[in-house]
Amino acid sequence: MAAVRSLRTSGVFLLLFLLNIANASSGPWIFSVDVNEKACSELKCVYNLNVNGLDFDVWSLTEVPAARGGDCEGRFLEEKSTKNVELIVPFAKKLFFCAKGPDGVWYNQGESLFLEANDVIGANAQYEP
């Protein structure tokens, strides 16, 4: 009886592991954004960023918040580079990240990953799936 119980438990762990892997790799995801430098005036902020993630060709910013994996509306920037990216953005805006996958669809990266001029924590956010 112990061998059957062990096999059943192992099967459950294997199923959970496979579901976790399938869920994490199902879309283009930005896992972290590192702000190397930030300088703000009354009208704009200049950022130097590193964008780290998986399975995206191009990333963008939007003012429209959405759930992680939701539609990405109102994009105003398309950037192919992920290291030492120089951005100039309006000062009073909270900006959310989007990623374009190999299928050509844009995916919002969620409300927890954003840039905001007067925020220090959100700009260096990391998403924990």
pLDDT per position as a tens digit, 37-85: 999 888 888 999 999 999 888 999 999 999 999 999 988 888 888 999 9
Is 1 part of a structural domain of the chain? no
CATH code for the domain of 62: 2.60.40
- Residues 126 and 27: their CA atoms lie apart, in Å, by 17
State the pLDDT at residue 10. Answer: 67
Is 96 part of a structural domain of the chain? yes
Is 22 part of a structural domain of the chain? no
Q: Which residue has the higher pLDDT, 90 or 125?
A: 90
How many domains does one find in the chain? 1
Q: Are 128 and 30 in contact (CB under 8 A)?
A: no
Which tens digits make up the pLDDT trace of 7-32? 566 666 655 555 555 555 567 999 99
State the pLDDT at residue 121. Answer: 44
Q: What is the pTM of this model?
A: 0.71
State the pLDDT at residue 86. Answer: 92
Which tokens is 24 given?
């994490």
Is 23 part of a structural domain of the chain? no
Is 58 part of a structural domain of the chain? yes
* Beta-sheet strands, E only, within the chain: 29-40, 44-54, 58-62, 75-79, 85-90, 94-100, 106-108, 114-116
Is 70 part of a structural domain of the chain? yes
Is 5 part of a structural domain of the chain? no
Is 11 part of a structural domain of the chain? no
Residue 122 has pLDDT above 50, yes or no: no
**The domain containing residue 57 runs over which residues?**
28-124
